[in-house]
């Protein structure tokens, strides 16, 4: 019984840390990262829904092709039919694809509309500016806060308290994460200072170009606390692969504490936030 309890506790700890660590790419991953926002959940649903059309159509065409190749090959069918019209078949192969396209278009447009329409007035507006090769984040709140977020250099791990390679993976971890509250609608205004970049966060289902002189708008509502990783997704120069995006989703109280402290001492605020989160994980595991 004790063993079972210990195993359950261990599993809970793993699960708790799993949610606290949120999501990041894994080696040999072929599927999406787990959805952290309703929009990403809708994207995942639409992808599976689309496969229900794509796979049967592909198989049907493959079978028809194979049948024609074998059944009507020159040796088996030396005198080909001269038929050139068949009204029924022509109606079927016109109407069939129209119905399929309609079935795809309706949910596709619904998804597209949802991606551009926040369900409520966002409670927090951030500006993300792409630079060669890092990001500037500006919190558009009273007494705005802005800071730079660059890839964590391997030599700086100890200085930032980010020795944990699983939680702060090489080439994805950053020095200063974007911190946002959980279950809040967040608007991100995306732009660039030099060349084209793109702001992308797979687990949130958002990706938009960062264009110098223009502002693109995205929104998300992250529903699970944790640390999420994305990357610049537009070829922007020699260090394009080295300008990751990290977003830390925390509780409202943790966010408020962090924002207040970050105005005076960003490093100190980040340290305190990390300590608070780690404390939370231990409690969840116990």
Q: How far apart are CA 67 and CA 195, in angstroms?
A: 53
Closest CB to Cu ion among residues 96, 212: 212
First to last CA, the chain: 17
Closest CB to Cu ion among residues 174, 232: 232
Closest CB to Cu ion among residues 39, 151: 151
SS3 105: helix
CB of 148 to Cu ion, least distance (A): 14
Closest CB to Cu ion among residues 236, 277: 236
Contact present, 178 and 271 (Cβ < 8 Å): no
CB of 126 to Cu ion, least distance (A): 17
Closest CB to Cu ion among residues 131, 223: 131
CB of 200 to Cu ion, least distance (A): 10
CB of 145 to Cu ion, least distance (A): 23
Say which residue the tokens 């100190």 belong to. Answer: 268
Closest CB to Cu ion among residues 206, 274: 206
Asked if omega into 133 is within 30° of 0 (cis), the reply is yes
**What is the pairing mode between strands 145-149 and 134-139?**
antiparallel
DSSP 208-259: EEE-BT--EEEEE---S-EEEEEE--S--STTGGG-EEEEEEE-HHHHHHHH
Closest CB to Cu ion among residues 20, 210: 210
Tokens for 167?
């939680």
- Among residues 190, 178, 191, 188, the alpha carbon closest in space to that of 259 is found at 178
CB of 110 to Cu ion, least distance (A): 31
* Contacting positions for Cu ion (CB under 5 A): 197, 232, 236, 243
199's CB contacts (< 8 A; 6+ apart) are 128, 130, 135, 188, 190, 206, 207, 208, 210, 218, 230, 232, 233, 245
CB of 127 to Cu ion, least distance (A): 16
Report CA dihedral (260, 266, 271, 274) to the nearest 10 degrees: 70
CB of 180 to Cu ion, least distance (A): 21
CB of 229 to Cu ion, least distance (A): 15
Tell me how far the alpha carbon of residue 155 is from its chain's centroid. 28
Closest CB to Cu ion among residues 167, 197: 197
């Amino acid at each position: 019984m004790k063993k079972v309890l210990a195993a359950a506790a261990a599993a809970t700890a793993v699960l708790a840390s799993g949610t606290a660590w949120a999501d990041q790419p894994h080696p040999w991953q072929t599927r999406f990262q787990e959805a952290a926002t309703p929009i990403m959940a809708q994207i995942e649903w639409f992808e599976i829904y689309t496969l229900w059309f794509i796979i049967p159509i592909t198989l049907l065409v493959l079978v028809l092709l194979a049948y024609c190749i074998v059944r009507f090959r020159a040796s088996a069918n030396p005198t080909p039919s001269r038929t050139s019209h068949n009204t029924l078949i022509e109606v079927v192969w016109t109407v069939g694809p129209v119905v399929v396209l309609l079935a795809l278009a309706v949910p596709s447009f619904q998804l597209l509309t949802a991606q551009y329409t926040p369900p409520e007035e966002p409670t927090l507006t951030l500006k993300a500016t792409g630079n060669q090769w890092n990001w500037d984040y500006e919190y558009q709140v009273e007494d705005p806060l802005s800071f730079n977020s660059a890839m964590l250099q391997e030599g700086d791990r100890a200085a930032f308290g980010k020795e944990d390679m699983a939680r702060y993976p090489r080439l994805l971890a950053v020095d200063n994460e974007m911190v946002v509250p959980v279950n809040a609608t967040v608007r991100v205004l995306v732009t660039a200072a030099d060349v084209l970049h793109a702001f992308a966060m797979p687990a949130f289902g958002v990706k938009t170009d960062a264009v110098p002189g223009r502002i693109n708008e995205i929104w998300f509502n992250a529903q699970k606390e944790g640390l999420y990783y994305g990357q610049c997704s537009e070829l922007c120069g020699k260090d394009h692969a080295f300008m990751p995006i990290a977003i830390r989703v925390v509780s409202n109280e943790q966010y408020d504490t962090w924002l207040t402290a970050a105005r005076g001492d960003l490093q100190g605020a980040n340290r305190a936030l990390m300590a608070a989160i780690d404390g939370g994980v231990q409690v969840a595991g116990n």
